[in-house]
Chains A and B, each alone.
Chain A
């Protein structure tokens, strides 16, 4: 038996809204369609598989990015072992990553209230390389940006200094909000 192609497919945004409960008014109609439509239900299933992959990468700490403090608290509440550092603007911290850590995050303190766009530059001083993270999300009402580097990358770091810089960007001009020095010690194992 051949399966017909859907001529009125639910857009991806509609499937995501349904899955995440963002459009309650459309929920019943979307469910009617999905139960009768092999095409759209297969598309939703594919999205759900990608979502499972994202969840798996998050739990393994295999990503780099900016998160919110409340999200990190939720990860900790779920049992993830999160190593956290709080670094004041233009301050430094001694840091490491151990085999027991699922995730390492740094709370970079900075005044964010009037910032329109925020870039984050991460410098690996021993190798002279830098990564610029453009237009990172941030809550202007918060007093810190939460940076979560890829744990696999951190484990590869030799002992040495790394630095993060938060840069406010407005009308093409840049203003440094803070510099954060990480005095990293490579985990040498017990004893």
Chain B
């Protein structure tokens, strides 16, 4: 647990994030920095939203809401420690998911103010692998790997639920799941290579 937390400081692009934050907070603002901030954080906020809301539409709304609040704070110079931008954004994600959606009226009003700064926030993340390629690779997996991946990812079931219906322990499911997804990923990448 602590290893992951420590890695934030070692791996996060802290100087760049800080620089973006300072440029946005400057008296004249910086549209380019705002666009870069949105480009950088929108995919991560979307992932957070998908993980907690299990809804593409809900995740897209969360991206927009969190970035709006972040830009507001930065423009107003209200984010004191610009080096903790990622932590601020994560905290905002958590709060918004806990609190539920903000009122539609307020959201609309903020959107009118900031709409020019928010490029393609609701867009889906990258494309799903080609169907035929994925099915070809799925067919090449071991039987247990294929069954576990299908029953896991059809509706994102945890290991204990999948294991209970297949006579496998949760630990066994996690091992099979990890091995299967790695094989599948490598197979798809090999097929995609020119």
A68 to B19, CA, bound (A): 53
Is A82's beta carbon under 8 Å from chain B?
no
Tally of A-B Cβ pairs under 8 angstroms? 210
Which A residues fall within an 8 A CB radius of B? 1, 3-10, 12-14, 16-22, 25-26, 28-42, 44-60, 62-71, 74-75, 78, 133-142, 150
Q: List 10 A-B contacts (CB under 8 A).
A: A17-B174, A20-B152, A20-B156, A33-B4, A33-B5, A34-B47, A35-B93, A36-B11, A54-B138, A150-B139
For A41, give the chain B residue with the smallest CB separation: B44
Give chain A residues whose Cβ lies under 8 Å from the Cβ of B16. Answer: 1
Which one of B4, B10, B126, B157 has the highest number of Cβ atoms from chain A below 10 Å of its Cβ?
Answer: B4
Give chain A residues whose Cβ lies under 8 Å from the Cβ of B157. Answer: 20
Residue tally, chain B, CB below 8 Å to A: 70
A134 to B47, CA, bound (A): 36
Are A138 and B131 neighbours in the complex by a CB distance under 8 Å? no
Indicate whether A67 sits within 8 Å of B147 (C-beta atoms), given known contacts A22-B170, A29-B4.
Answer: yes
Which B residues fall within an 8 A CB radius of A? 1-8, 10-14, 16, 19, 36, 40-41, 43-44, 47-48, 50-51, 86-87, 89-90, 93, 125-129, 131, 134-135, 138-139, 142-144, 146-160, 165-168, 170, 174, 177-178, 181-182, 184-185, 188
Are A137 and B43 neighbours in the complex by a CB distance under 8 Å? no
Give chain B residues whose Cβ lies under 8 Å from the Cβ of A71. Answer: 151, 154, 165
Give chain B residues whose Cβ lies under 8 Å from the Cβ of A7. Answer: 7, 10-11
Are A4 and B44 neighbours in the complex by a CB distance under 8 Å? no
